[in-house]
Amino acid sequence: MTVAVEFDGVSKSFGDVQAVNNVDLKIADGEFFAMLGPSGSGKTTCLRMLAGFEIPTAGRILLDGADVSGLPPYDRDVNTVFQDYALFPHMTVAENVAYGLMVKKVGDKERRTRVDGALALVHLEALGARRPAQLSGGQRQRVALARALINRPAVLLLDEPLGALDLKLRQEMQLELKSLQREVGITFIYVTHDQEEALTMSDRLAVFNHGRVEQVGTPAEVYESPRNPFVAGFVGVSNIVEGALATRLRGNPMPFTVRPEKITLSDPAIDPPEGSVFIDGTVVEATYLGMYSRYRVDVDGAVLLVAGQNLDVDHGEVGATHGRRVRLHWNSRACRPLSESPAATDNIPTAGAVD
Amino acid sequence: MRLALLLGVPLFWMVGVYGGSLAALLVQSFFRLDSFAGTIDRSPTLATWRDLFTDANMSVAARTIGMASSVTLASIVIALPLAYFIARHASRRTKAVLVLAVMIPLWSSYLVRVYSWKLILSADGIVNWFFERLGIGGLLDAVLALPAIGGPSLSVSYIGQFLVFVYIWLPYMVLPIQAALERVPRSFIEASADLGAHPATTFRKVVWPLAIPGVAAGSIFTFSLTLGDYIIPTVIGDSSPFIGLAIYSYQGVAGNLPLAAAFAFVPIAVMGLYLFGAKRLGAFEAL
Which residue type sits at B271?
M
Q: What does the pLDDT read at residue A274? A: 83
DSSP characters for A211-260? Answer: TEEEEEE-HHHHHHS-SSHHHHHHSS--EEE-HHHHHHHHSS---EEE-G
With a pLDDT cut of 90, the percent of chain B lying above it is 35
Residue B173 lies in a domain: yes
In this prediction, residues B2-13 reach a mean pLDDT of 84
Q: What does the pLDDT read at residue A344? A: 40
In this prediction, residues A141-159 reach a mean pLDDT of 94
pLDDT tens digits for B191-235? 999 999 999 999 999 999 999 889 988 998 899 899 888 889 888
In this prediction, residues A81-97 reach a mean pLDDT of 94
Of the residues A45, A68, A82, the best mutation for testing chain B's interface (the one with the most B CB atoms within 10 Å of its CB) is A82
Number of domains, chain B: 1
Helix axes B55-84, B257-280, angle to 10 degrees: 40
With a pLDDT cut of 70, the percent of chain A lying above it is 93
CATH number where B108 lies: 1.10.3720.10
Could you tell me which residues are beta bridge partners of residue A217?
A205
* 8 Å CB contact of A88 and B194: no
pLDDT band at A342 (very low <50, low <70, confident <90, very high): very low
Residue B258 lies in a domain: yes
Picking from B185, B190, B210, the nearest residue to A90 by CB comes out as: B210
Q: What does the pLDDT read at residue A316? A: 64
pLDDT at A1 over 80: no
pLDDT at A104 over 60: yes
pLDDT at A66 over 90: yes
Tell me which fold the domain A236-337 belongs to: OB fold (Dihydrolipoamide Acetyltransferase, E2P) (2.40.50)
* 8 Å CB contact of B193 and A74: yes
Considering the entire predicted model, what is its pTM?
0.81
In this prediction, residues B236-243 reach a mean pLDDT of 83
pLDDT at B64 over 60: yes
Among A144-148, A182-186, A195-199, B247-251, the range scoring the smallest mean pLDDT is B247-251
B193 to chain A, any CB pair closer than 8 A? The answer is yes
Can you give the residue ranges of every domain in chain A?
Answer: 3-231, 236-337
Residues of B within 8 A of A55 (CB-CB) are none
pLDDT at A220 over 70: yes
Among A283-287, B2-6, B19-23, the range scoring the smallest mean pLDDT is B2-6
Starting at the edge strand found earlier in the chain, the sheet holding A3-14 runs A17-28, A3-14, A58-63, A66-67
- Domain spanning A3-231, CATH class: alpha beta
pLDDT at A83 over 50: yes
Q: What does the pLDDT read at residue A145? A: 93
pLDDT band at A320 (very low <50, low <70, confident <90, very high): low
Among A112-116, A214-218, B245-249, the range scoring the smallest mean pLDDT is B245-249
Residue B20 lies in a domain: no
Identify which of A236-250, A307-321, B162-176, B258-272 has the greatest average pLDDT: B162-176
Handedness of CA A104, A69, A182, A163 (dihedral sign): negative
**What is the Rg, in whole angstroms, of the alpha carbon atoms belonging to chain B?**
23
Which residue type sits at B212?
I
Among A18-32, A284-298, B132-146, B214-228, the range scoring the smallest mean pLDDT is B132-146
Nearest by Cα to A311 from A258, A273, A261, A257 = A261
DSSP characters for B116-140? Answer: HHHHHHSTTSHHHHHHHHTT-HHHH
In this prediction, residues A124-147 reach a mean pLDDT of 92
Q: Which residues, 6 or more positions from B156, have their beta carbon under 8 angstroms from its beta carbon?
A: B236, B237, B238
pLDDT at A281 over 70: yes
In this prediction, residues A133-147 reach a mean pLDDT of 92
Q: What is the mean pLDDT of chain A?
A: 88
> CB-side exposure of B272: number of CA atoms within 13 Å?
5
Q: Which chain B residue shows the shortest CA-CA distance from A104?
A: B196
Q: How far is A97 from chain B (nearest CA, A)?
A: 10
Q: Which residues of A touch B (CB under 8 A)?
A: 51-53, 72-74, 78-80, 82-84, 86, 88-90, 99-100, 102-104, 147-148, 151
pLDDT at A346 over 50: no
Residue B34 lies in a domain: no
Residue B40 lies in a domain: no
Q: What does the pLDDT read at residue A315? A: 65
* 8 Å CB contact of B285 and A99: no
Q: What does the pLDDT read at residue A345? A: 40
Residue B268 lies in a domain: yes
pLDDT at A219 over 80: yes
Residue B13 lies in a domain: no
pLDDT at B34 over 50: yes
Domain that holds residue B203: 47-286
